[in-house]
Structure 1
Amino acid sequence: MKKLPRWIVQSFTTLITNLNLKGFINGTLYRGKLKSVCVPGLNCYSCPGAIGSCPIGSLQSVIGSPNKKFSFYIVGILLLISTAIGRFVCGWLCPFGWFQELIHKIPSKKFSTKKLYKLTYIKYIILVLFVIVLPITIVNELGMGNPYFCELICPVGILEGAIPLAIANPSIRGALGWLFTWKFIVLIGIISLSMFLYRPFCKWICPLGAIYGLFNKYSVYHIALNKNKCINCNKCSNACSMDIDVIKNQNHSECIRCNECVKSCPTKALKVKFGLKESEENQSEKISY
């Protein structure tokens, strides 16, 4: 059976997570029971089409609540997804990840980010500081912390929420202020970078990708290398838009499971697997029989 192209899965996922199409016309949000369910990718709660909640937004809401309760549901969902498929979400199921890829297809000179690898640690700083620490420590008179990542950094809220709502709803247009202007500048910056660099937001900024990336090495869904078949041609690493040395680390925290490395391997040394990882010794024994 022929596998579906990744862009079809990405477009289908984007549609499924934004099924409230009438919201784009009415300028209103869906507030049904499904809105309490977290979707796996970064898709803004304030998007008029969204039928689910963003896991990062939901996590901040709980962390910033007056009671500072620990949400077993949200953390459990994140752990379940992380240990099952890791950053497969980023490569296949995230609407904003797909949006960056579409922008990257605009004809222009493309640049590698290998020399900028240290910038990938920024997203972990953002996860700790803006998603966890600030909502806990900076609170209002009611003891509530703001979702600082959503308010100050995340461009998805502007792209999916503020812009379509402002187009459809005149009252919202009149209420836009400096925060909208700032976030719009951030969005334009991400769009501009995406033309020349592959997925800059995913590489350097996204805290959701940071969470999933921490579990890439341990996720049930993984990429395995058979060293007996590998000829060290480096075609896999050259095919990786996330600038990973695939031969050294097939399940790097930056791997979004796009599987281009697997497709590029001339000897089929790389394979996508779903299950417990086997040791290199076991793989070698299988080849010898």
Structure 2
Amino acid sequence: MKKLWEYVKKRPLIQVVASILTNYNLRGFATGRIYKGNTKIACVPGLNCYSCPGAIGSCPIGSLQAVVGGNRYNFSYYVMGILILFGVLFGRFICGFLCPFGFIQDILYKIQIFKLKVPKKMDQLLRWLKYALLLILVILLPIFLTDEFGTAPPYFCQWICPAGTLGGGLPLILKNKSLRSMLGVLFGWKVTLLILIVLSSVFIYRPFCKYICPLGAIYSIFNYFSFYQMHIDKLKCNGCKACQRHCNMNVEVIRNINSPECIRCGKCKDVCKQGAITSGFKLICKE
């Protein structure tokens, strides 16, 4: 178990590798074309836009909207099954280690400048926004707001997703003149939203993950009973709360270490001088 944790501690390295593996079609960035190979039918774990020229798989949220809002798709069981599988195995470990857009926010937060703390009541209220976006934009609107052919656009991707704008929209527009001639108010809104999230990520730790991401909302549901778990040894814990003071996701670690907001980054474990915090897969982790 110790060797496993020593590997997991190298989180930035794992994030780099995960980002490259899900976007290794580097030729797409040069040509401005979307990869359409056989792997594109498979969902990757993290938020990674289908339209990103480098993407070799599909985004789970984009796929979920497609199967919910289209009567001509036959992958609904697969998409739901893969989301449940990822959630049951890892919970929000995926957010902390495998999501490219989460990695980008981590990098932005490392910029040496003063940081902002969202007031607790406002923070708790805003946390519910990602669940509202999941329910309304990802599920309900694609079901009920369809065209005459019984299909619906991917509302979250179309109106909100900054990962799609950054990884898909901007690279494609830079390489395709025909797309630049079609830009309008919607693209302006998406770029503005991306800029706001990028800027806020410098001052607030992972604002998109905390308040907006519907994929994080899905994985958070599984956090308490996923195979990958965090654990506090009450006999070793002296109640110093260093773990809580250093938690960038503002989790009340001592009260609920497997909170839906925990992305399993392991920072609480690193700062615990008592060695009271352990983590790993329940089947092999000795608590």
TM-score normalised by L of structure 1:
0.93
Residue 56 (structure 1) aligned with residue 61 (structure 2): yes
Residue 166 (structure 1) aligned with residue 204 (structure 2): no
Counterparts of 1:260 and 1:114, CA distance in 2: 22
Of residues 259, 270, 274, the one that matches 1:267 is: 274
Counterpart in the other structure of 1:85:
90
Counterpart in the other structure of 2:116:
111
Change (3 A) 1:114 1:270: farther
Deviations 1:26-74 (A, max 9, x none): 0001001000000000000000000000000001001110358671111
5+ residue gaps, structure 1 = 284-289
Of residues 199, 206, 211, the one that matches 2:218 is: 211
Identity value in percent? 48
Counterparts of 1:251 and 1:118, CA distance in 2: 19
Counterparts of 2:79 and 2:114, CA distance in 1: 40
Deviations 1:179-215 (A, max 9, x none): 1111001101101111110000000000000000011
Aligned-residue Cα RMSD (Å) equals 1.7
Q: Equivalences for 1:1-289 in 2 at 5 Å?
A: 1=3, 2-3=6-7, 5-66=10-71, 71-113=76-118, 115=120, 116-275=123-282
5+ residue gaps, structure 2 = none
Counterparts of 2:251 and 2:117, CA distance in 1: 11
Question: What is the one-letter code of the residue matched to 2:82?
Answer: I
Q: Runs of at least 4 residues of structure 1 off by over 4 A?
A: 67-70
Residue aligned with 1:223, SS: strand
Residue aligned with 1:101, SS: helix
Residue aligned with 1:189, SS: helix
Q: Give the conservation status (yes or no) of the 8 Å contact 2:66–2:73.
A: no
What number of residue pairs does the alignment pair up? 280
Residue aligned with 1:222, SS: strand
Q: Give the conservation status (yes or no) of the 8 Å contact 2:89–2:226.
A: yes
Question: What is the one-letter code of the residue matched to 2:17?
Answer: F
Change (3 A) 1:249 1:276: farther
